[in-house]
Amino acid sequence: MTRPRLNPALFFLLPALILVIVFYIVPLFLSIYISFTPLENWNLHRYLDEVTTSNYERLLYMVRFDPDVGKVVQTTLVFVAATLAVNVLGGLALALSTFLMEERISLPYRVLWMLPRMTPIAVYSLMWYYFFLGDRSGTLNSLLLSLGMIDEPLAWGTDPRLLPESAWAILVIVNGFVGVSFGMVVFYSALRSIPREHVIAARVDGASTWQLVRYVLVPQLRWHIVYVTVWQLLSLITTYAHIFLLVEWGAVDKWWGSTWALYVFNTAFTTSDQGLAAAAATILVIVGALLGLVALRLLGFQRMMQEPRGEI
């Protein structure tokens, strides 16, 4: 009599698979389903039986005619494009600089630039909140006032005369400082793994630092640049945690300062319209999944898949 044996691979995968099923797969389908129901106030017993497309119709209508939702769409596009540029180019610049300078100075810089990523979101938001505070005590205001560049304090994130560019700038700055370290780390470690002979040969041939960067170093980072761009693009589309508090505290304009992901969150948790929020979330999921698939193709993740070893 032999007991049925659990496949060892399944045994090892089970805990992770359960979490993935409960927190990704089931929510995915549930989210799509909720988007077709008029769910309100989390009243799951009352609204979940009705199936309707009205959420999508309302969303479409709002994107076209509701100026506030229109602002969110614009903000999302500008925010993703600008922050992506900052993250990739800034990360590249930082990595090259820290690679080319002496280790004594390079190491502290690399640590410093990792700090925003390591800072708890609430503290990070708090710091920027004071930086852009609208009264005299805000860091930016008090700096500009003492330099004589402005006569009275400005409410940077909410002043209608400065919107929307000022709100966008705040979003890009706040998230840019966090995102730039990802590119820095990836590019830096890639630079460090370039064979030293390439650098030596270029130097012996009399290449200037600029030529070294332009013709030797950057071309070898091509794959990493694609990787960082795709990865950061995917992250930025769903980013909202770092600006959630800035919007909640009123440091930036509610609509010019909201990305689509934050709009989804706020619609679900501060208004009571969960059906609409789920519809907005579903669109986000579709965009994310499509971009993710493109990313897999583009990056050739197949190449990174080693065959298992140690099998008998």
Shorter beta-carbon distance to other proteins: residue 195 or 219:
195
Shorter beta-carbon distance to other proteins: residue 42 or 61:
42
Shorter beta-carbon distance to other proteins: residue 2 or 302:
302
Could you say which residues in the range 45-74 bind other proteins, by CB under 8 A? Answer: none
Shorter beta-carbon distance to other proteins: residue 1 or 10:
10
Q: What are the φ and ψ backbone dihedral angles of 185, each rounded to 5 degrees? A: -65, -45
Residue 54 beta carbon to other proteins: minimum distance, rounded to whole angstroms: 17
Shorter beta-carbon distance to other proteins: residue 75 or 183:
183
Could you say which residues in the range 83-102 bind other proteins, by CB under 8 A? Answer: 94, 97-98, 100-102
C-alpha to C-alpha distance for 63 and 68, rounded to whole angstroms: 8
Residue 289 beta carbon to other proteins: minimum distance, rounded to whole angstroms: 6
Check residue 19 for interaction with other proteins (CB under 8 A): yes
Contact 132, 156 (CB under 8 A): yes
Q: Buried b / exposed e across 99-112, counting CB within 10 Å, b at 16+?
A: beeeeeeeeeebee
Check residue 281 for interaction with other proteins (CB under 8 A): yes
Residue 164 beta carbon to other proteins: minimum distance, rounded to whole angstroms: 22
Packing angle between helix 274-299 and helix 26-34, nearest 10 degrees?
130
Contacts with other proteins by CB under 8 A: the residue count is 121
Give the one residue of 60, 111, 150, 298 binding other proteins; rule: CB under 8 A: 111
Check residue 4 for interaction with other proteins (CB under 8 A): no
Contact 36, 55 (CB under 8 A): yes
Q: What is the dihedral of CA 286, 291, 292, 298, to 10 degrees?
A: 160
Shorter beta-carbon distance to other proteins: residue 52 or 137:
137
Region from 55-63, 77-85, 154-162, 284-292 binding other proteins, contact rule CB under 8 A? 284-292
Could you say which residues in the range 222-251 bind other proteins, by CB under 8 A? Answer: 224, 227, 231, 234, 237-238, 240-241, 244-245, 248-250
Contact 174, 246 (CB under 8 A): yes
Give the one residue of 42, 52, 57, 150 binding other proteins; rule: CB under 8 A: 42
Rounded to the nearest angstrom, the gap between the alpha carbon of residue 299 and the centroid of all alpha carbons in its chain is: 19
Give the one residue of 15, 148, 160, 219 binding other proteins; rule: CB under 8 A: 15
Could you say which residues in the range 129-148 bind other proteins, by CB under 8 A? Answer: 129-131, 133, 137-139, 141-143, 146
Residue 205 beta carbon to other proteins: minimum distance, rounded to whole angstroms: 10
Could you say which residues in the range 256-275 bind other proteins, by CB under 8 A? Answer: 261, 264-265, 268-269, 274
Q: Buried b / exposed e across 149-180, counting CB within 10 Å, b at 16+?
A: eeeebbbbbbeeebbbebbbbbbbebbbbbbb
